[in-house]
Structure 1
Amino acid sequence: MTSFILFGSFFLFMILSIPIAISLGLAGLIAALYSPNISITLLAQGLVTSTDNFALMAIPFFILAGEIMGKGGISNRLFNLANVFVGRFTGGFAIAAVITCMFFSAISGSGPATVAAVGGIMIPAMVAQGYDRKFATAIIVTAGSMGIIIPPSIPMVLYGVSSNQSIGDLFMGGIIPGVLIGIFLISWCYFYSKKKGYSGSGESFSFKRMLLVLNQAKWSLLVPIIILGGIYGGIFTPTEAAVFGVVYAAFVSLFLHKEVKIVQFRRIIADAAMSSVAILIIIGTANAFGTILTMEKIPQVIAEAFLTLSQNSIVIILLIIILLLLIGCFIDTSAAVIIFTPILFPVAIQLGLDPIHFGIIMIVTLSIGFITPPLGVNLFVGAGISGLSMPALVRGVVPFFFIMLLGLTVIAIIPQLTLLLL
């Protein structure tokens, strides 16, 4: 009965459009008031202790680094670099947009931030080049989903904390899957552009121009190299890497690119703080929710239920993916990782899945939620930039949804793609 009250009240609050952090907290409180075995004091303590974690400190710093780099002209430099190499090919602008999103994903760690930073420049530029506005917006909002797949990734930090796995290993495990999805998106851009007659820029490759734009983008390109190289080389932890990222981003934006003024830092820090607080509140209330789940032994029950349906690991993984696709339509990615990792992780372990591989499957699946309504955060950001109606953009995203599913399928059935760099 406690479990029914917990989940019933949570979904009721969600239907009433109450913010997810509040919905989680209220559902936990109602369940605790009903059950004599659950102490409200325990839930209150959990709100504090769940965020008192060194690894979680990486989240606000990665967000702040992404905000600084996003305001510092990074996306424009990255696009110019990508355009030098692929702009002359069929669909070159669209391909360059995907590559730009991939690079920016390695800086921001956020899907919506990637769409906002890249889309503000690329969508108008693609339309000016003759691309259909719906296609231009759809490719940006989909490629922006790689913001949580290509490291550094905030959901990877949350999964690592929730499952007690190495965040550095998760970061390394996300590189090849992220690049693979990028290749799938680039392939679709090429074939679609060929069908629609979207030609390239017509400019021949210039070694001199390549050196020029490479010089302009060199400080931006160093960010993922320094962060991932430092973590995997044992120079610093992910949290320390995030702090270094903030210092580096501030130095580059202020003194090298000179596109951010000191007076703008108040607004940048405020925006980063708002995003960080939202995630940390979700972490706290989700911990209270998860405490009740654990006390009621719900993860064990769900694990047994999955295993009674089938002993075939492929069938179980398919069921988990379908569940996460549905969850991604209604629940924020960060909240979904915190809530469902304790529930689904035991199932993965009993199936003999590698915990890092399962984490990447989970995050790639939830990344599709960025482009699926009704939540679809990237859709709202993209529609706001392009001026498209939501129904029109959703229709434009449909082919990309299946491309993402194809990439997810390959990642799920070939664990070596995730584990090769570990």
Structure 2
Amino acid sequence: MSAAVVAGFMGLSLLGLPIAFAMGVAALLALLATGVDLSMVPQRMMHAVNSFPLMSIPFFMLAGELMIKAGIVERLIALANTMVGRVRGGLAHVTMLSGAGLATVSGAAVSDASALSSILVPSLSKVYDKGFATAIVAAAANLGPIIPPSGAMIVYAFMAGSSVSVGGMFMAGVVPGIIITIGFIALCSWIATKRGWAVTGDPFRLKAVFAELRRSLIVLAMPVLVIGGIVGGAFTATEGSAIAVIYAALLGFFVTRTLKLSDLPGIVVRAAITSAMVGALIAFASVITYLMTVDLLPQKLTVLLKAITDSPLMYMALVAILLFVVGMFLESNAAYIMLVPLLHPIAIQYGIDPLHFGFLFVLNLVIGMLTPPVGVVLFVVCGITGVRMRELVANVWPFIALMYGVLVACMLFPPLVTALPRALGY
């Protein structure tokens, strides 16, 4: 019965219905078919979203919108430009460093893709062909959910329960996030050299770097304060997200002075829409999760997988293949909410480190945001730049391949993911 619910939800999603609506219809049909008391639906939905940790999602969404409107992207680009210097593929390097910097304040790929596309694609298109320019921006934006703070990791930690903490998930993404950023920069250099593109940028000057660092110090202090406070135990992720909102607002109003009171309604509405979608997904998914539990689906799936393999590595490989397919067709938040309660407990039974499995799960679905036909970052970038999807996909696949390479490396060498969180006591 629960398998039919999942299949029905995916089928409705593929028909083009909104994800939350499709999940709600699938849950309702399953309840009607099984004769379960419908009065339990609102109770379970309310219980699912009545959570203090979940409040961090709208706050981080709001903080990201405020930081982008406050002109943070321009400052990060200026800092990255001085750090890169005059090299082949220099503007691409600036984009990657800007994406990594923006990831430390936003935590979401979609908002990063919107900001970077609007600001950088016109300049990138003067140096590279437009397909490659948009691919660079899409790859840089995809660093958002990997480098902390990450909305995806918050959702995963909530769905996984007490075995995973938000702070631990944040720290698990630091080293792989740095590796992916460096890998993207190296890949851009190789492609620029292979295609014979011109050297760009101003000569490297240490004085200019220090000047931009001083100018951007108040911006860079925000992720240090928020993430450091969460990891150090000074406050919870929800309290840290509220501090991020206040910090971003003060920065925009009194430091950069690009944020105006007239901007606030639009910022709040955009953050509210995204947060409401995630909340609706979690509420409807709680009903489906209940049906799965009643149907003993996790236990049945565990028995099936144990019959196939006893190897934890093989289990992670099977999950990676599953998520590769799911990521191409399903929006990532829906995938977290549907699959984490199912696959995370099985990983623990296999003896897999919960943080290790959690990060691999998130990274796999983050890559899915770049893979057609339902790569949400691809659609955002195409919508803003006017580039055809075919042209963007033809240029973005090397970045996808590199991210999958890092995924495999993290799977084979768990300390890449777990060493930093364990050193900090997670």
TM-score, structure 1 length as denominator?
0.96
* Residue 46 of structure 1: aligned partner: 44
Equivalent of 1:141, from 127, 131, 138? 138
Amino acid at match of 1:243: A
Which whole-Å deviations, capped at 9, do the CAs of 1:245-301 have from their partners, x for residues lacking one? 000000001100001111211111111111111111111111111111111111222
TM-aligned CA deviation for residue 146 of structure 1: 1.4
Give the Cα separation in 2 of the matches to 1:31 and 1:182: 44
Which whole-Å deviations, capped at 9, do the CAs of 1:112-168 have from their partners, x for residues lacking one? 11111122111111112x112111111111221111111111111111111122111
TM-aligned CA deviation for residue 199 of structure 1: 3.5
Amino acid at match of 1:286: A
Give the Cα separation in 1 of the matches to 2:361 and 2:101: 22
Are the equivalent residues in 2 in contact too, given 1:149–1:364 (CA < 8 A)? yes
Amino acid at match of 1:70: I
Give the Cα separation in 1 of the matches to 2:173 and 2:72: 22
Are the equivalent residues in 1 in contact too, given 2:175–2:416 (CA < 8 A)? yes
Give the Cα separation in 1 of the matches to 2:347 and 2:293: 17
* Residue 351 of structure 1: aligned partner: 350
Q: Secondary structure at the match of 2:369?
A: helix
Which whole-Å deviations, capped at 9, do the CAs of 1:14-47 have from their partners, x for residues lacking one? 23211111111111111111113x3222222111
TM-aligned CA deviation for residue 103 of structure 1: 0.9
Residues 22-421 of structure 1 aligned to structure 2 (within 5 Å): 22-36=21-35, 38-128=36-126, 130-164=127-161, 165-201=164-200, 203-421=202-420
Aligned length: 419
TM-aligned CA deviation for residue 83 of structure 1: 1.1
Please identify, of 200-209 and 244-253, the stretch whose mean Cα deviation from structure 2 is larger: 200-209
TM-aligned CA deviation for residue 4 of structure 1: 4.7
TM-aligned CA deviation for residue 325 of structure 1: 1.1
Are the equivalent residues in 2 in contact too, given 1:92–1:199 (CA < 8 A)? no
* Residue 424 of structure 2: aligned partner: none
Give the Cα separation in 2 of the matches to 1:112 and 1:334: 12
Give the Cα separation in 2 of the matches to 1:107 and 1:43: 36
Give the Cα separation in 1 of the matches to 2:401 and 2:275: 31
Give the Cα separation in 2 of the matches to 1:382 and 1:216: 29
TM-aligned CA deviation for residue 11 of structure 1: 2.8
Give the % identical residues: 35
Are the equivalent residues in 2 in contact too, given 1:299–1:343 (CA < 8 A)? yes
TM-aligned CA deviation for residue 215 of structure 1: 2.5
Are the equivalent residues in 1 in contact too, given 2:85–2:203 (CA < 8 A)? no
Which whole-Å deviations, capped at 9, do the CAs of 1:368-410 have from their partners, x for residues lacking one? 1111112111101111222211111111112111111111111
Give the Cα separation in 2 of the matches to 1:202 and 1:65: 31
Q: Secondary structure at the match of 2:198?
A: coil
Give the Cα separation in 1 of the matches to 2:259 and 2:198: 35
Amino acid at match of 2:140: A
Are the equivalent residues in 2 in contact too, given 1:173–1:357 (CA < 8 A)? yes
Are the equivalent residues in 1 in contact too, given 2:103–2:145 (CA < 8 A)? yes
**Cα gap change, 1:363 to 1:202, in 2 (>3 Å):** closer
Give the Cα separation in 1 of the matches to 2:7 and 2:360: 28
Are the equivalent residues in 1 in contact too, given 2:45–2:287 (CA < 8 A)? yes
Q: Secondary structure at the match of 1:372?
A: coil
Amino acid at match of 1:134: G
Are the equivalent residues in 1 in contact too, given 2:14–2:329 (CA < 8 A)? no
RMSD: 1.3
Please identify, of 201-210 and 267-276, the stretch whose mean Cα deviation from structure 2 is larger: 201-210
TM-aligned CA deviation for residue 357 of structure 1: 0.8
Give the Cα separation in 1 of the matches to 2:281 and 2:37: 20
Amino acid at match of 2:145: I
**Structure 1: which 5+ runs fail to align?**
none
Amino acid at match of 1:158: V
Give the Cα separation in 2 of the matches to 1:87 and 1:125: 16
Amino acid at match of 2:150: S
Give the Cα separation in 1 of the matches to 2:43 and 2:397: 44
Give the Cα separation in 2 of the matches to 1:147 and 1:96: 16
Amino acid at match of 2:234: I
Give the Cα separation in 1 of the matches to 2:170 and 2:3: 36
Are the equivalent residues in 1 in contact too, given 2:107–2:151 (CA < 8 A)? yes
Give the Cα separation in 2 of the matches to 1:126 and 1:18: 35
Give the Cα separation in 1 of the matches to 2:373 and 2:140: 19
TM-aligned CA deviation for residue 330 of structure 1: 1.6
Give the Cα separation in 2 of the matches to 1:62 and 1:168: 14
**Cα gap change, 1:11 to 1:234, in 2 (>3 Å):** closer
In the TM superposition, structure 1's runs of 4+ consecutive aligned residues that sit over 6 Å from their partners are none
**Structure 2: which 5+ runs fail to align?**
422-426
Give the Cα separation in 2 of the matches to 1:8 and 1:215: 54
Give the Cα separation in 1 of the matches to 2:63 and 2:131: 30
Amino acid at match of 1:126: L
Give the Cα separation in 2 of the matches to 1:98 and 1:202: 14
